[in-house]
C-alpha cells in the first residue's frame, strides 16, 4: 500500500481520493481547512502554496495530485505560487506530479482539440494555466521532477455542484421540469468530462511511466450540446421536455456586475458560442480507461441529485 497525496477536495479531488482509497492506497488530502478523516483518507489542513509545509506533507508519497481550483477571479494571483509549491514538493520528494488541467490553454480554435495543439490562449486564465503546465514540463525535461497533466473539459456527474453548465443551476431545474438557461448557444456541440472518468485518468497515469512528460485528454464521449444533455437528463428523470434558452452577452454582463465568478466567464464564452470538442484518441490508444457510457453517466447523475434531496431552483 502506497501513500498518495491529493491537493484539493472539490469534486475532482474528492473523487480521486475516494478512488485511490478504494484501490487500496493510503490517501492524504491537503486543503486549507481540513476535515474529518474518511475510511482510507486522512485530511490535512495547510496552505498548499507553502512549499515547505507541502513538501513535509508529501514526503514518502508515490504521487502528488494537483486538483485544487482557486476561484476564477483569483487564478492569476493564486495559481503561480500553488504550482511553484507543487513542483518544489515533487522535486524534493520524488513523488510523481499529476496535474489536473483543463482546455483553456489552447484558446479559441476551429478544430477538435488535441494534445498536439499549441497552448496559444490570449486570455489571462488560459495563459496562466498554460504557464503552470509549461513550468512542470520544463522541469520534467530537465530531469528534476516527473510530471504529467490530465486535461478535462467541463465537469459533469455525481458530486459536481459548482459552475453553471450542468451543475447546481441546471440539473435541479431539469429534475423539476423547469426551463434552464445556457451560456452561449445551447445547440453548439460541447465535450463533457464525466467526473469518475477524470478521477480514473488521474489515477491511471500516475502509475504509467510512459504517460509522464506530456499532457493527455480525459477519455470523453462524442460531444453533445447543452440542449441534448438536458434532454437526456429529463428523459432519465421522466420530467418531460425541458425548455433550454441561451443567455445573451448583455444578460451575462449584467449578472457579472454582481458576481465575480460570472464576470470571469466572458473570457471563455467562446467555448459555448461554437463547437468545443475534445479529442481523447491519444489517451484511449495508450491506456485502458474508457469513457463511461452516456446512459450510465446520466443515470448516476440523476440518482445522485435525487439522493441529495435538494432539488430546488
What is the per-residue pLDDT across 82-119, written as a single tens digit (0 to 9) for each?
999 999 999 999 999 999 999 999 999 999 999 999 99
Domains of the chain: 3-154+192-217 (3.40.50.720), 158-191+222-277+293-308 (3.90.25)
At 153, phi and psi to the nearest 5? -90, -160
b/e per residue 47-56 (b: at least 16 CB within 10 A): ebbebebbbe
Q: What percent of the chain has pLDDT over 90?
A: 81
Helix (H, G, I), strand (E, B) or coil at 200: helix
- Where residue 178 falls (left for φ over 0; alpha for ψ -120 to 50; beta otherwise) is beta
Question: What is the β-pairing status of strands 147-152 and 96-102?
Answer: parallel
Q: Are 55 and 64 in contact (CB under 8 A)?
A: no
Q: What are the beta bridge partners of residue 180?
A: 244
Q: Which of 49, 10, 11, 44 is nearest to 26 (CA)?
A: 44
Q: What pLDDT digit, counting tens, does each position of 275-313 carry?
A: 999 999 999 999 999 999 999 999 999 999 999 875 544
Q: What pLDDT digit, counting tens, does each position of 51-77 carry?
A: 999 999 999 999 999 999 888 888 999
Q: What is the reported pTM?
A: 0.94
Class of residue 210 by CB neighbours under 10 A (exposed 0-12, middle 13-18, buried 19+): exposed
Q: How far is CA 299 from its chain centroid?
A: 20
At 123, phi and psi to the nearest 5? -85, 160
Q: Which of 133, 67, 51, 64 is nearest to 94 (CA)?
A: 64
Amino acid at each position: 500500500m502506497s501513500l498518495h497525496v491529493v491537493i484539493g477536495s472539490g469534486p475532482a479531488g474528492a473523487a480521486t481520493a475516494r478512488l485511490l482509497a478504494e484501490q487500496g492506497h493510503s490517501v492524504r488530502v491537503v486543503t486549507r481547512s481540513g476535515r474529518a478523516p474518511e475510511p482510507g483518507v486522512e485530511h490535512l489542513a495547510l496552505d498548499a502554496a507553502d512549499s515547505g509545509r507541502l513538501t513535509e506533507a508529501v514526503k514518502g508519497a508515490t504521487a502528488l495530485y494537483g486538483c485544487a481550483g482557486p476561484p476564477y477571479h483569483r487564478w492569476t494571483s493564486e495559481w503561480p505560487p500553488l504550482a511553484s509549491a507543487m513542483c518544489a514538493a515533487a522535486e524534493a520528494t520524488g513523488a510523481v506530479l499529476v496535474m489536473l488541467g483543463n482546455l483553456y490553454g489552447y484558446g479559441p480554435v476551429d478544430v477538435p482539440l488535441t494534445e498536439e495543439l499549441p497552448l496559444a490562449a490570449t486570455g489571462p486564465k488560459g495563459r496562466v494555466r498554460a504557464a503552470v503546465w509549461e513550468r512542470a514540463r520544463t522541469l520534467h525535461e530537465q530531469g528534476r521532477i516527473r510530471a504529467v497533466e490530465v486535461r478535462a473539459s467541463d465537469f459533469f456527474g455525481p458530486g459536481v455542484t459548482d459552475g453553471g453548465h450542468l451543475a447546481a443551476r441546471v440539473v435541479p431545474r431539469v429534475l423539476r421540469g423547469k426551463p434552464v438557461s445556457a451560456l452561449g448557444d445551447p445547440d453548439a456541440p460541447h465535450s463533457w468530462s464525466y467526473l469518475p472518468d477524470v478521477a480514473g485518468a488521474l489515477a491511471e497515469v500516475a502509475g504509467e511511466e510512459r504517460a509522464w512528460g506530456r499532457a493527455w485528454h480525459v477519455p470523453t464521449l462524442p460531444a453533445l450540446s447543452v440542449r441534448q444533455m438536458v434532454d437526456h437528463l429529463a428523459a432519465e428523470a421522466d420530467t418531460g421536455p425541458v425548455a433550454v434558452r441561451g443567455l445573451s452577452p448583455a444578460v451575462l454582463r449584467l449578472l457579472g456586475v454582481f458576481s465575480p465568478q460570472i464576470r470571469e466567464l466572458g473570457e471563455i464564452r467562446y467555448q459555448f458560442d461554437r463547437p468545443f470538442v475534445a479529442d481523447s484518441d491519444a489517451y484511449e490508444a495508450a491506456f485502458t480507461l474508457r469513457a463511461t457510457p452516456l446512459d450510465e453517466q446520466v443515470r448516476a447523475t440523476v440518482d445522485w441529485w435525487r439522493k441529495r434531496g435538494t432539488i430546488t431552483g
